[in-house]
Amino acid sequence: MKFGVLKDIKEGENRVICTPAEVASIVAAGHEVYVQAGAGVGSCFSDEAYVKMGAKILDTAKEMWDTCEFLAKVKEIEESEYNYLREGQMIYCCIHPAGHPEEVQALLDSKCIAITAEDSHRYGSPNCEAAGKQGALFGLESMLTINGGKGKFVGGFAGAPGMNVLILGGGIVGQGALSILYALGANMTVMDINVGTLKMLGDKYQNHINTMFCTKENIAAILPQTDMVLNCVKWPKQRKDFLIDKEMLKLMEPGSVLVDISNDDPGAIESSHETHHDNPRYVVNGVVHYCVSNIPGAVAHSTSVALAAETLPMLLNIMNNGLTEACARDGFIRRSLTAYKGYLTHEETSGIQGRPWIRPEDILGIADRQLDPAPPATTTRSNNFIKL
């Protein structure tokens, strides 16, 4: 199979989906690998390093899309790339389809085969861990007086207390942020709606952190004593309410910090809107907001190495066995299939956008086989089925 590593073109994005190490493995499995010129430069992987591992370098995006049967990148497909999509071609990337109807329409119109990367990780995406850990550090940077923050040091000094930090969401992102801030001496509170998660975190940290059930009322009760909030909640896209609204920000002291790591649109934070690394902060009701949408792009080398290592087995499964067999063997690939030759195959997107969909196992003709199981990617359900 002709496999292509695209250069990501989203603003501020420096990651790459495959490092030279993964290219070597794919070539060893008998496939041709093409890498777009400069694809790995932002992550400190030169074109020469890819060539050394058996890849061929193509100069332009058009050459990549025209040459390769299967392409992969980190972030979503940009509008400038829609015209490159073609029937039967496979693409693997973070599509975020439920929140991007225009992108979904382009996928369906092209009759390509699209797999959304964020739903494909059996053990959680390395991007989530990176976002939590680096997001915590960007929060501390935002707290600095020189960046508009109130100037509290995370662990305090002799005679000066450390920061009180609230993390909303105890999943992979929240746990990453917690590990950094706890180690640096912050006074931590974690909120979640899963009591089992709260118990697990309390046990893990020997009850040296506070845990609370996540409600808007509980958040409001502790905001006056909170120096920094990190939102790590994956907010259901159909919800129109907020965990923190603009009025609630007035409960915090001026110069407090809010880091919206999840950065959903719409999301759990009313005052949040996407920013980029070149201008990451703004202030609402006295609270410094850090809302960069691709935080992991700031640690592009480490994130690329971790992401590429976890992605490699999925890519090889598809290339070695074909998409149909890969979807039978790996339920996480199957649940990630988003568009298949003009048919929507992603349940959340159907539920959010009101589009009819067909289950991947039905369109692929494997519904009667014993399939590798995987839980649904989200809680959104849809019975709006396409009738073939």
Which are the catalytic amino acids? 96, 264
Phi, psi of 114 (to 5 degrees): -120, 135
Spatial neighbors of 67 by CB under 8 A, at least 6 apart, are 2, 4, 34, 58
Q: Are 317 and 329 in contact (CB under 8 A)?
A: yes
CB 164 within 8 A of CB 146: no
The residue with tokens 């959304």 is 116
Burial class (CB in 10 A: 0-12, 13-18, 19+), 379: exposed
Say how many C-beta atoms besides its own lie within 10 A of residue 251's C-beta.
18
* ∠ CA 298-299-305, rounded to 5°: 140
Residue 210 CB contacts under 8 Å (≥ 6 apart), including other chains: 187, 188, 189, 190
Nearest one of 151, 168, 306, 320 to 248, comparing CA atoms: 168
d(CA 136, CA 13): 19
φ, ψ of residue 339 to 5 degrees: the values are: -140, 135
Please give the full DSSP string across 259-323, using - where no structure is assigned: EESS--SS-SBTT---BBTTB-EEEETTEEEE-BTTGGGGGHHHHHHHHHHHHHHHHHHHHHH-H
